[in-house]
Amino acid sequence: MTTIKPLALTPFTTTELKPHGWMRRQLEIQAAGLAGNLDKIWPDVADSSWIGGAHEAWERVPYWLDGFIPLAFLLEDENLIARARKYINAILERQQPDGWLCPCDEKKRARYDTWALELISKVLVLWYDCTEDARIPDVLYRAMKNFDHHTDRHLVLDWGSARWFEILFALYRLYEWYPEEWIIGLCDKMATAGTDWRNVFEYWQYQKPRFGGPTWGLLHHVVNQAMMLKSRALYSRRTGEDPETFVNKALEMLEQYHGQPYGIFSGDECLAGTSPIQGTELCAVVEAMFSYETLLSITGNTHWADRAEFLGFNALPATCSPDMWTHQYLQLANQKACTIMPREKVQYTTNNGEAHLYGLEPHFGCCTANMGQGFPKLALSAFMRTEKGVASTVLVPSVLNTDVNGTNVQITLDTQYPFRQTLTYTVAAASPVEFTLSIRIPGFAKNATVDGKTAPVGQFFNICRTWSEITTVVVELDFTVEMCKGYDEMYSVRRGPLLYALPIGDEWHPLEYEKHGVMRKFPYCDYEILPTTPFAFGFTDSQFDYVECEGEGDFLFAPKGAMTALETELAPIDWGEVDGHCLASPRSRRAIGAPQRLRLIPYGCTNLRMTVLPRVEKD
C-alpha cells in the first residue's frame, strides 16, 4: 500500500473550531453581503446548470460553495446551512450513472474543461468535513473512477491542466476511504498530464509584463500563479520531495519582477510588473491565501502563516467595500479614484477600464463567485492539531473545542491582533491532561514574550505541561515601523502584520443598470468613487508616531473603522494624473508646499489610497 505523507499540522473542522471577536463579526458582515446572497440575486448561482437551471455550468457555483459552506457552518447559521445543503443535494442528485458529476452533455465531455471537477471535488470534501455526509465517499469514488477512464482517452485541458493539483485534496481523502492503487495512479496521471510548473520557472519567460499584441496566457495568468504555489507541496505527500524548494524559488522570482506591497504579485489579468498602478485580481488574493494555508499545514513552517495573514489583513479587505456588498476585480496600491478609464487609456495588460470599480462583477464574474473563501478559510486556520497537542497557527480570535488525549479541551484566543499586540489564551480542560500548546510567534514581530518570558520570533513557542481546570497564557508582541523600498525608488510603510496607506476622502457614485440580463442595483450596483482630498504627497522623513484609535461605525475594515494609525509629515508634490488616475511615478519629487502632519491608516481599511510614495527631494 502506498504511503501518503501525513500533514505536519492537521486543520480542525467547523465542528470543533468557531470564530470569535472581530473575526466572527467579519464573517457576519460577509454573510450579510454579496457572498452570502449570491444564490438570491445572481443568475450564475441562483439559476445555475449545476442545480438544473439555464445559466453557467462550470466554475461559479463550486467557487461560491467553497466559501459559502465554511461560512455557514462557522457561523452555525441554519438558514445558510439549509441553502448550502440545497445546492449539494442538487449536485449529487444529478450525478450520471457512470459517475460523471459536472453539468455537461455527454456528447460535449471530450472538450469540457474538467477544472470544474477538480474544484467541485475539493468542495465535496469540505462539505464532508462540515457534515460527515455519508453520501460523499461513494459520490467521489464514482466521479474519480469515471475521471480516471476519461483521462485515458482525453487530455486534461486548459484551466484543468494549469490547476491539476487541486484534485489531490479529493484523491488523498478518497485513498483514506478506499486504499486502492488506481487512486494513486490517478494522482500520478494528473501530475503527468497537467502543467509542470517547475519547467515554467526553470525557463522563466515572464520577467516583464506584456503590453500590446498577444498578452494573455495561462502560464502567466495571476490566479494560476497563486494556485500553483502549493502544487509541489501537495504532490510531495505522494513523492516525498521537499515541499518548499519549488515554492521558494517561484516566489522569489514573482516578487522580484511583479511584487506588490500588499503581499502578492500583480496580475491584471496576467503578471503585470511592480508599478503601483497595475492591479491584482481578487481571485489571486484568496487563492494565494489558501495556498499559504495549505503550505502551513503540509510543512508546519510558520512563514506560511505570516504570508496568509498579511494577505487576509491587507489585500483581501482592501479590495472589498466595507460592507462586502461589492468588490473590485483589481485592486491598486496607488488608487486615487475608481472611475471608468477610456479604452485607449487603460493601463492594464488585458483587463478593461472598469476592472477597478467596486461592483457586482466588474470586468468578469469569477471573483464574484470566489471572493467568499478568503475570510472563512483564514478563520479555519486558527488552530491545527499536532502530534503532541494543539498549535495556534493563524492569530485570529477563535474558540476551539476538541478532544486531546481523551479529554475535552477548550482553547479560546481573545485578541484584537493585528490591530493590537496582545494575545490571551484561556485553556480549560475537563480533567488534567498533558499536551503541548504551540503558539506561533509571527515573523512580523521584533520581540515577543509569553507570560513574561522571551519567546523566539518566527517560530512556535511550545508550552508542554499538564493542563487542568482553567489556565491563562498571555503573549505580548512588539512591532516596529519599516519603510520598504519598491517601485522607482519609492517606499511603502509596514508595521508588523499591517501595511499602511494614506487614505483619500471618497465620494461614492452608484451606477445602476442591466448588463447581459443581470441587474446591478443597490446594494450590489457598481460604483465610481471620486476623491475629495489631495493625493499627491511625498515623505519628508522616516519618523512615524504610532496611534491606537477607537474605530467608529459598523465595519472594521473601513476608513472610520481603523483602529490604528501612523502619523508622519508629508509634503505636497507635483505627481500628475491622466483622466483622473495618478501616474505610476510623480512628475517631480520636490515639495510645492509646506509639510503637513497626516495619518496613514491600515491599507485594508482604505477605499481610495496612496500606498507607495517617494521621498521629497531636498533643495
Last residue of one domain, picked from the residues 425, 447, 478: 478
Task: Please write the tens of the pLDDT for every residue from 220-243.
Answer: 999 999 999 999 999 999 999 999
Pairing of strands 422-441, 389-392: parallel
Grid cell listed for 169: 485534496
Q: Would 510 be classed as within a structural domain? A: yes
Last residue of one domain, picked from the residues 426, 452, 478: 478
Question: Quick one: pLDDT band at residue 580, thresholds 50, 70, 90?
Answer: confident
Distance CA 335, CA 580 (A): 10
Last residue of one domain, picked from the residues 478, 506, 529: 478
Task: Please write the tens of the pLDDT for every residue from 259-272.
Answer: 999 999 999 999 99
Q: Among residues 529, 496, 517, which one has the least CA distance to residue 603?
A: 496
Q: What angle do CA 5, 192, 8 make, to 5 degrees?
A: 15
Cα separations (Å) of 514 from 171, 445, 521? 42, 48, 9
Is the domain of 464 the same as that of 424?
A: yes
The total of structural domains in the chain comes to 2
Average pLDDT for 165-170: 98
Res 1 pLDDT > 90:
no
Is the domain of 542 the same as that of 592?
A: yes
CB atoms within 10 A of CB 76: 10
Q: Would 579 be classed as within a structural domain? A: yes
Question: Quick one: pLDDT band at residue 411, thresholds 50, 70, 90?
Answer: very high
Provide the pLDDT for residue 138: 98
Residue with cell 499545514: 297
Q: How far apart are the two ends of the chain, measured CA to CA in Å?
A: 74
Q: How far is CA 554 from the centre of its chain?
A: 23
Distance CA 198, CA 204 (A): 10
223 strand-pairing partners: none
Q: What is the mean pLDDT of the chain?
A: 96
Q: Would 497 be classed as within a structural domain? A: yes
Res 20 pLDDT > 70:
yes
Average pLDDT for 57-84: 98
438 strand-pairing partners: 391, 462
Give the type of residue at 344.
Answer: E
Is the domain of 474 the same as that of 512?
A: no
567 strand-pairing partners: 545, 599
User: Which H helix or E strand runs over 93?
Assistant: helix 78-93
Spatial contact of 474 and 451, defined as CB atoms under 8 Å apart? yes
Q: Would 184 be classed as within a structural domain? A: no
Please list, residue by residue across 40-57, b when 16 or more beta carbons sit within 10 angstroms of its beta carbon and e when fewer do: ebbbbbeebbbbebebbb
Residues contacting 419, CB < 8 A, separation 6+: 22, 498, 563, 564, 602
Is the domain of 469 the same as that of 487?
A: no
Provide the pLDDT for residue 213: 65
Provide the pLDDT for residue 315: 98
Is the domain of 506 the same as that of 583?
A: yes
Distance CA 60, CA 428 (A): 42
Q: What angle do CA 331, 503, 495 make, to 5 degrees?
A: 85
Cα separations (Å) of 503 from 142, 274, 282, 357, 533? 53, 21, 20, 17, 9
Strands (E), 366-452: 383-385, 389-392, 398-404, 407-415, 422-441, 447-450
Question: Quick one: pLDDT band at residue 277, thresholds 50, 70, 90?
Answer: very high
Provide the pLDDT for residue 458: 97
Is the domain of 485 the same as that of 598?
A: yes
Residue with cell 495573514: 309
Q: Would 392 be classed as within a structural domain? A: yes
Average pLDDT for 329-352: 93
Give the single-character DSSP code of 15: T
Is the domain of 564 the same as that of 587?
A: yes
User: Which H helix or E strand runs over 571?
Assistant: strand 564-572
Is the domain of 439 the same as that of 451?
A: yes
Residues contacting 593, CB < 8 A, separation 6+: 571, 572
Is the domain of 489 the same as that of 391?
A: no
Res 321 pLDDT > 70:
yes
Is the domain of 461 the same as that of 487?
A: no
Q: Among residues 414, 415, 457, 467, which one has the least CA distance to residue 436?
A: 467
Average pLDDT for 149-158: 94
Residue 403 dihedral angles phi and psi, to the nearest 5°: -100, 125
Distance CA 407, CA 430 (A): 6
Q: What angle do CA 87, 295, 224 make, to 5 degrees?
A: 65
Is the domain of 485 the same as that of 457?
A: no
Q: How far is CA 123 from the centre of its chain?
A: 16
Q: Would 321 be classed as within a structural domain? A: no
Average pLDDT for 117-133: 98
Residues contacting 542, CB < 8 A, separation 6+: 483
Task: Please write the tens of the pLDDT for every residue from 198-220.
Answer: 999 999 999 999 887 678 999 99
Q: DSSP string covering 256-307, please? A: HHHB-TTSSB-BSSB---S-TTS-EEHHHHHHHHHHHHHHHHHH--HHHHHH
Q: Would 101 be classed as within a structural domain? A: no
Q: Would 218 be classed as within a structural domain? A: no
Cα separations (Å) of 537 from 446, 542, 616? 29, 14, 8
Distance CA 596, CA 537 (A): 9
Is the domain of 514 the same as that of 435?
A: no
Spatial contact of 507 and 610, defined as CB atoms under 8 Å apart? no
Provide the pLDDT for residue 78: 98
Q: Among residues 70, 68, 66, 69, which one has the least CA distance to residue 17?
A: 70
Task: Please write the tens of the pLDDT for every residue from 425-477.
Answer: 999 999 999 999 999 999 999 999 999 999 999 999 999 999 998 999 999 99
**Domain ranges, residue 393:** 383-478
